Amino acid sequence: MAKVLIVYYSRTGNTEKMAHAVAEGVKLVKDVVVDVKKVEQATLDDLLNADGIIIGSPTYYGQMAGKIKTLFDESVKIHGKLSGKVGAAFTSSGGTACGAETTIISILEAMLVHGMIVQGRAHEKHYGATAVGRPREEDMEICKDLGKRTAELVLKIRK
């Protein structure tokens, strides 16, 4: 079985709701299991044991939250060992034009430095799933789609 790890930080609960919607999408794919963890609970071993890693963070000044950044900073200890794993990202923000895309890109940049393969989307929300404030049903569907597409890519890569 392939494994997808979802790590998130959520202060208001919006990013947490999105994380669980992403997990629902992963669960739609046969032969893939999902583990959802708050960033405070995630370990470097969790990252090493996953085939796919999806990170969620609120948008803070157009960047990932400090606790997510701390996990990436700690991951220097395993640098090179995440190479070839599939990565994706999602974020919630307080409004439009608040830096959602740059937040996702900050997460994806860290994944790319690790040599990870990033899951994009050809249609809207190219970089990952986003929501403004409380996620709407449409946002939750895009989260599910992100989880499903990432899990499918994990299986393709494993073959």
What confidence tens digit (pLDDT) does each residue in 11-47 have?
Answer: 999 999 999 999 999 999 999 999 999 999 999 999 9
Total structural domains within the chain: 1
Q: Is the CB of residue 88 less than 8 Å from the CB of residue 146? A: yes
pLDDT, position 82: 98
Least confident of 10-24, 46-60, 66-80, 90-104: 90-104
* Global pTM value: 0.96
Residue 61: give the domain boundaries. Answer: 2-158
- Nearest by Cα to 139 from 24, 27, 52, 61: 24
SS3 120: coil
pLDDT reading at 96 higher than 80: no
SS3 65: coil
CATH number at residue 80: 3.40.50.360
- Nearest by Cα to 94 from 143, 54, 68, 58: 58
pLDDT reading at 159 higher than 90: no
pLDDT band at 156 (very low <50, low <70, confident <90, very high): very high
Mean pLDDT to the nearest integer, 72-80:
97
